[in-house]
Amino acid sequence: MPAPQAADTSHPFRDRDRRQRQVRAAEVRLLYENANTGIAATIVIASLLAYALWDLVPRSIVSAWLVCVALVSAARFVVAHRYWRAEPADAENDRWNARFVVSSGLAAAVWGLAAVVLHPSGRPMSEILVVFAVGGVMLGGASLLAARPEAFLTFLVPTGVLTSLRLAGEGDADHLMMGFLGGVFTVATVITTWRFHRAIESSFRLRFDNQDLIDSLQSAKNDADALNRDLELRVRDRTAKLTAGDQRKDRFLATLAHELRNPLAPIRFALESLKVDTPPATAARAREVIERQVGQLVRIVDDLLDVSRITADKIRLRREPLDLARVVATALESIAPLAEAADLTLEVQLPSTPVWINGDATRLVQVLVNVLNNAAKFTPPGGRVSFTAEQQSGTVVMRIRDTGVGISPDVLPRVFDMFHQEEPVLDRSTGGLGIGLTLARRLVEMHEGRIVISSAGRAREPRSKSICRSRQCRPRRPSPLGSALSQRQRTFAC
């Protein structure tokens, strides 16, 4: 019993890490989106505060502080500008986050310095103005920097602590209370900002989860659309095949009726001539007609039965070592009357030495007769049908060539299909049900062989049908048949 395999637990962790990177990237992007707003607010508040304290605090100190504000604001602006130009990937956001935290720390130093150096002694209203300005900057920074904890902590804690310490450093009870309240304000601001950060983080997670769901639904929709298109094509192809099969069936039934009516008419005429006082010569001719036409009917019925047996896989081959020359001679005897009636020349060329093959004699003769009959039917009077057999590297290849009308390239791939006939059913003068070549191919395949046909097209000659490629065998040690293949020919194993 195979050991149980450990479940793959890395997939949830990979998804969690990917989601964390996406959320952090979105948070860093939000910081930089708010950066210019924070810079502008810093410059405005600093300018107003400096203007209010210009005559209360030494001007050199106010000017120096304004220069620090300008330098820090310029540095923050440069960092934000480079971020938007770089358009960093998710993997680079930690570096850009660190840069933003540094710039937040510089801003905190500037406003903490303001609480220390811009503190006019003996003027309570001015002190309250400075504390009020710093507290407002802290609240504004909390809303702009809430996307990342390290950003708002770096700004709020130093700014609030320095302001509280500066107030408590005065030593009197009022300033101690103000310093305590400043510390409480700082802690409350940090807690509130942290909750704001959690809301922002949850919002981003929900957005990305929804985006994944949308992508999943879109992918499923695309897959379903592709499946529907494939099913539609398959249904259309199947419908076309069924329609073509139904049309072939209709043509076959029309052809069958035509083929059955042809021998019945002479039989009926012959029977009428035998009714009363028929001269012996006329009676003999009538019997010959009946015998010939009944043989035609038997052949049609036998072909139909063979098709049914092959389709139901009920035909069993009786294999034995066969002399190729005898098989060919038997087939030529059957086709000779048709060739003679059509004024065709039969050319036969066999190997000089006896060739033995392993197969069912009756079925191989049937294959040869069907193919030769097809060649003779479509060769005009005065034409030629040639049969050759040759040995090639331990195999025997038989070919039939004729000077017939040829086969159209679009029809050539379907000549072995059941009931397929190129000409209109009732306009043909050659007869046949369109199952002879189908039977030939199935019987060849039962002998582990192949049969192929080639033609240069309609009104081209010669048309070439090669019959057989099979392995040779000796009378006492028959060998299995080989595969068949030949250019411009019908090929089958026998």
CATH of the domain at 300: 1.10.287
> Is there a domain that residue 326 lies in?
yes
Query: How far apart are alpha carbons 492 and 494 in whole angstroms?
Result: 6
For residue 197, pLDDT beyond 90: yes
> Is there a domain that residue 1 lies in?
no
Query: How far apart are alpha carbons 156 and 137 in whole angstroms?
Result: 9
Residues 72 and 181 in one domain: yes
Percent of the chain whose predicted confidence (pLDDT) is above 90: 26
Residues 52 and 114 in one domain: yes
Range of the domain at 276: 245-311
For residue 255, pLDDT beyond 60: yes
For residue 418, pLDDT beyond 70: no
For residue 348, pLDDT beyond 80: yes
> Is there a domain that residue 154 lies in?
yes
pTM for the model stands at: 0.49
Domain boundary among 154, 187, 220: 220
SS3 state at 329: helix
CB atoms near residue 240 (< 10 Å): 10
For residue 6, pLDDT beyond 80: no
Residues 307 and 324 in one domain: no
> Is there a domain that residue 171 lies in?
yes
Q: Do residues 108 and 154 touch, judged by C-beta distance below 8 A?
A: yes
Residues 36 and 90 in one domain: yes
At residue 427, the pLDDT reads 42
CA distances to 172, 298, 331, 437 from 304, in Å: 122, 10, 20, 13
**Backbone region of residue 481 per phi and psi (left: phi > 0; alpha: psi in -120 to 50; beta: other values):** beta
At residue 434, the pLDDT reads 65
Residues with Cβ within 8 Å of 301's Cβ and at least 6 positions away in sequence, in order, are none
More confident call, 147 vs 463: 147
At residue 12, the pLDDT reads 61
Residues 436 and 351 in one domain: yes
At residue 424, the pLDDT reads 46
> Is there a domain that residue 238 lies in?
no
Report the sign of the C-alpha dihedral through residues 89, 90, 96, 100, in that order: positive
CB atoms near residue 268 (< 10 Å): 12
What letter does residue 171 receive in the DSSP assignment? -
Domain boundary among 185, 220, 255: 220
> Is there a domain that residue 274 lies in?
yes
Query: How far apart are alpha carbons 252 and 432 in whole angstroms?
Result: 10
Residues 328 and 298 in one domain: no
For residue 9, pLDDT beyond 60: no
Tokens of 7: 């479940």
Domain boundary among 220, 253, 280: 220
> Is there a domain that residue 230 lies in?
no
Residues 329 and 456 in one domain: yes
Burial of 163 (0-12, 13-18, 19+ CB in 10 A): buried
Query: How far apart are alpha carbons 336 and 297 in whole angstroms?
Result: 19
Residues 304 and 405 in one domain: no
Residues 71 and 16 in one domain: yes
Burial of 99 (0-12, 13-18, 19+ CB in 10 A): middle
Residues 44 and 102 in one domain: yes
> Is there a domain that residue 237 lies in?
no
CATH number at residue 380: 3.30.565.10
Residues 383 and 427 in one domain: yes
At residue 475, the pLDDT reads 40
Residues 168 and 194 in one domain: yes
Spell 375-406 as b/e; 16+ CB within 10 A means b: bbbbbeeebbbbbbbeeeeebbbbbbbbbbbb
Q: Do residues 53 and 126 touch, judged by C-beta distance below 8 A?
A: yes
Q: What is the pLDDT of residues 387-396, one digit of tens each?
A: 888 877 767 7
Q: Do residues 489 and 465 touch, judged by C-beta distance below 8 A?
A: yes
Strands (E), 247-394: 320-323, 345-349, 356-359, 384-392
Per the prediction, the chain carries an average pLDDT of 79
For residue 163, pLDDT beyond 80: yes
Number of domains into which the chain is organized? 3
- 49-53, 218-222, 240-244, 302-306: least confident range: 302-306
